[in-house]
Chains A and B, each alone.
Chain A
């Protein structure tokens, strides 16, 4: 192997055919308003924990939709459940309930 001083970056390509969305479908059934999120970012902008950690509601939803469950759950753990995101959401989504459902459903899956 020759060291050229640079190398190939790992691809961020996601093969959706291989993604298992079974748990996400359950989450959708429990919280149909999850699909009304338009990723405006108001929740992220107002998030108290988001100022100090990498928690971001819209990123969590996007990650779950793309099968990145473990990464999403790591972010959910940072949430302080203060509910400011719920108050500011322009679509009136019950974000706190969704985060609680994610914790319950995905942790059940792991067991």
Chain B
């Protein structure tokens, strides 16, 4: 092996992330799937790391779901994105950070398309002016929010209250990492480590004390896929992909799955319930599933946030076995209590997979 050659290839898949002053845009679906993830991200970066993150209240969805489900043409999606860039420009920021992987893919695709076809960029400028009377400037830097956590993973580890370590045995937890397809599979040079060796989540797991599980179907799709899921008759395809991944990772007995996409943690979490109801099989121990969390939720756990403030009761798979392994203290009675002790209601207990 020629080390210099390997280093050169690896250098192509690195990103220089600015140290501070970011313009943050939220995800449409993540806020309902994982209601505390984005708040936790902003709390960690602003209050624990002291970084400047600005949110413009007028920003909207990126249009990615409508674009990928063929509801709107690419020009419409690009005009929505151009408006987002215009808001960033008006706010005086240049470093654009998005919370969603689908958005990250859409922004990257749009910038690359404009680079290759400047006449299309000019057309979109005109569309934006005609529709909103706005002008945009392209971001100097585009990052996904997991890139930011990756950059500051060691600072988070230094402030950590808990580690990804079994508190009783002292052994590192076995963690499955799964990156979203639109993070680095479309444009490998835009993600840490590219499509084949993505390091963004691996870096977090290793910095926080866990052990990465390398299983055969590690790079297989989680099963979301917009067209697979939106039509009920096609959902079997979605679930079959997820099933394939779980069958592949099962022998390694993972304690946790960590993801950086809106779709992946949702489907890796919810399909465990459907698989259990259809086949009677669960992939965790003692009738539990394997918790599938976002990187913000895992960062929040290691920093000592209250699990229920992180919204972990919103997951289908019970989180308690993981909390017990990490030695995190929690109040079981407070699981379904909201702000000011408001009762959120207790979900029905499934037959084949334990919820609590």
- Which of chain A's residues have a CB closer than 8 A to the CB of B244? 11, 13
- Which of chain A's residues have a CB closer than 8 A to the CB of B7? none
- Which of chain A's residues have a CB closer than 8 A to the CB of B239? 6-8
- Distance, CA A11 to CA B239, complexed state (A): 12
Q: How far is the CB of B172 from chain A (nearest CB, A)?
A: 30
Question: Could you tell me if A2 and B236 are in contact, using CB atoms closer than 8 angstroms?
Answer: no
Question: Could you tell me if A5 and B278 are in contact, using CB atoms closer than 8 angstroms?
Answer: no
Question: Could you tell me if A9 and B236 are in contact, using CB atoms closer than 8 angstroms?
Answer: yes
**Total contacts A-B at CB 8 Å:** 33
* With A11-B240, A11-B244 as contacts: A6 and B232 at CB distance below 8 Å: yes
Q: Does B275 contact A (CB under 8 A)?
A: yes
- Which of chain A's residues have a CB closer than 8 A to the CB of B232? 5-6
Q: How far is the CB of B293 from chain A (nearest CB, A)?
A: 24
Question: Could you tell me if A8 and B235 are in contact, using CB atoms closer than 8 angstroms?
Answer: no
Question: Could you tell me if B278 and A8 are in contact, using CB atoms closer than 8 angstroms?
Answer: yes
- Distance, CA A50 to CA B275, complexed state (A): 40
- Distance, CA A79 to CA B222, complexed state (A): 42
Question: Could you tell me if B237 and A9 are in contact, using CB atoms closer than 8 angstroms?
Answer: yes
Interface size on B, residues (CB 8 A): 15
- Which of chain A's residues have a CB closer than 8 A to the CB of B274? 4
Select which of B234, B235, B237, B277 is within 8 A of A1 by beta carbon: B277
- Distance, CA A8 to CA B223, complexed state (A): 12
- Distance, CA A4 to CA B232, complexed state (A): 9
Question: Could you tell me if B233 and A8 are in contact, using CB atoms closer than 8 angstroms?
Answer: no
* With A1-B278, A2-B278, A4-B278 as contacts: A9 and B240 at CB distance below 8 Å: yes
Question: Could you tell me if B277 and A8 are in contact, using CB atoms closer than 8 angstroms?
Answer: no
- Which of chain B's residues have a CB closer than 8 A to the CB of A11? 240, 244
* With A11-B240, A11-B244 as contacts: A5 and B233 at CB distance below 8 Å: yes
Q: Does B279 contact A (CB under 8 A)?
A: yes
- Distance, CA A103 to CA B232, complexed state (A): 44
Interface residues on A, range: 10 to 19
Q: How far is the CB of A78 from chain B (nearest CB, A)?
A: 30
Q: Does B13 contact A (CB under 8 A)?
A: no
- Which of chain A's residues have a CB closer than 8 A to the CB of B278? 1-2, 4, 7-8
Q: How far is the CB of A11 from chain B (nearest CB, A)?
A: 6
For A1, A8, A11, which residue has the most chain B Cβ atoms within 10 angstroms?
Answer: A8
Residue of B nearest to A7 (CB): B236
Q: Does B54 contact A (CB under 8 A)?
A: no
Q: How far is the CB of B229 from chain A (nearest CB, A)?
A: 10
Residue of B nearest to A3 (CB): B278
Which parts of B189-207 form the interface with A (CB within 8 Å)? none
Q: How far is the CB of B255 from chain A (nearest CB, A)?
A: 25
Q: Does B53 contact A (CB under 8 A)?
A: no
- Which of chain A's residues have a CB closer than 8 A to the CB of B243? 8
- Which of chain B's residues have a CB closer than 8 A to the CB of A2? 277-278
Interface string of B248-278 (1 = CB under 8 A from A): 0000000000000000000000000011011
Interface string of B205-233 (1 = CB under 8 A from A): 00000000000000000000000000011
Q: How far is the CB of B163 from chain A (nearest CB, A)?
A: 36
- Distance, CA A28 to CA B277, complexed state (A): 47
Interface string of A2-23 (1 = CB under 8 A from B): 1011111101010000000000
- Distance, CA A9 to CA B236, complexed state (A): 6
- Distance, CA A11 to CA B278, complexed state (A): 16
Q: How far is the CB of A2 from chain B (nearest CB, A)?
A: 5
- Which of chain B's residues have a CB closer than 8 A to the CB of A8? 236, 239-240, 243, 275, 278-279
Show 27 residue pairs from A and B whose CB-CB distance is below 8 angstroms, ordered by the A residue. A1-B277, A1-B278, A2-B277, A2-B278, A4-B235, A4-B277, A4-B278, A5-B232, A5-B233, A5-B235, A6-B232, A6-B233, A6-B234, A6-B236, A6-B239, A7-B236, A7-B239, A7-B278, A8-B236, A8-B239, A8-B240, A8-B243, A8-B275, A8-B279, A9-B237, A11-B240, A13-B244
By Cβ-Cβ distance, the 3 closest A-B pairs, closest first, are A6-B236, A6-B235, A9-B240
A1-B278, A6-B233 known, 14 other contacts, Cβ within 8 Å: A1-B277, A2-B277, A4-B235, A4-B274, A4-B277, A4-B278, A5-B233, A6-B232, A6-B236, A7-B236, A7-B278, A8-B239, A9-B237, A11-B244
